[in-house]
Amino acid sequence: MYTSKEILDIVSRYIDNLPYDRKPQSLYEPIKYVLSAGGKRIRPSFVLMAYNLFKDDVETALPAAAALETYHNYTLLHDDLMDNADVRRGRPTVHKKWNANTAILSGDTMLSLAYLHLANSKTENLKDALDLFTVTALEVSEGQQYDMEFETRTDVKEEEYIEMIRLKTSVLLACALKMGALLAGASAEDAELIYKFGEKVGLAFQLQDDYLDVYGDPVVFGKTIGGDITSNKKTYMLINAWNRSEGETRSELNHWLGVSDFDREEKIKAVTNIYNKLGIDKLAEAKIKECFDESRKYLDGISVADERKQVLRGYTENMMNRKK
């Protein structure tokens, strides 16, 4: 069994040394730029951790791990373009460093490369892996579309939001875990259990992001909090505040959602006070705990020795104990 650090090191060495010897280099340079930024590399690590539950030759799963990381960064590249974001991981985004057309074309090429990496996997279950990856890619796009549509709606329900983040965030984490299990020859039952585990961890992870953007310590969080509040982003927090407020509280919330000229700190403080008044912080904490507790049940049900689950269990525990 490998530790999570050992797995991250294996993944990083492989991804950092991927060859990009096709031409024109101007197409592939932005791709190398995006992937060289590193990040947490949760998804490729999940592929290897899931594989390692069942088998020890984790290097066999590296092409699939590269596929998931390449695809994930492709979605980020296009998200940055759609959001007109200037910075990603402390560096200029591709459309800022190059231009929008380059971001579109290099992003599209990353999607093709992801399939190429996955097709190089040595497994008898390649069709199942490709089918899983394709459905996941469709679901992520569906989640992104729902997220865009929510921007202009004031009637988004909690269950709609949960489904959106399941599609936009959770299914890719679940796919990474199930991919590793499939490549290792896990049973259909175990593959489905680890998928459900990843789905619930993903929900908890995204809900925690919502929470930390309001209640995180800026020093530890590594960025200024309150960005979701100032942009009126539909989050678990805002949706529940809207659906639970009434009278003067609803009027005040409406004011801050509608105002275009405001003092940033004043708006953050006012909306946070509304969340506190309505108990949205406690509601979010309870939902995060509910999702993470459910995830543990799925991991417990996988039919391998408990000691083989400790790395994955410890890794996800650390994910949920993060402050940034």
State how far the alpha carbon of 88 is from the alpha carbons of 33, 34, 78, 96, 145, in Å. Answer: 11, 9, 12, 10, 21
Which pLDDT score, from 0 to 100, does residue 324 have?
52
Which pLDDT score, from 0 to 100, does residue 224 have?
74
What is the per-residue pLDDT across 69-100, written as a single tens digit (0 to 9) for each? 999 999 999 999 998 888 888 899 999 999 99
Structure tokens at 197: 């585990």
The rounded distance, in Å, linking the Cα atoms of 292 and 68 is 23
Write down the CATH number for the domain with range 4-320.
Answer: 1.10.600.10
Of the candidates 310, 285, 284, 288, the residue with the CA atom closest to the CA atom of residue 299? 310
What is the per-residue pLDDT across 274-322, written as a single tens digit (0 to 9) for each? 999 999 999 999 999 999 999 999 999 999 999 999 999 999 999 888 6
Q: Structure pTM? A: 0.94
Going from N- to C-terminal start, the domains of the chain cover 4-320
Please state the rounded mean pLDDT for residues 12-39. 93
Q: Identify whether the C-beta of residue 198 lies closer than 8 Å to the C-beta of residue 177.
A: yes
DSSP 8-state symbol, 279: T
DSSP 8-state symbol, 154: S
The rounded distance, in Å, linking the Cα atoms of 231 and 150 is 13
Which pLDDT score, from 0 to 100, does residue 100 have?
94
Q: Name the H helices within 36-156.
A: 42-54, 62-83, 94-97, 100-119, 126-150
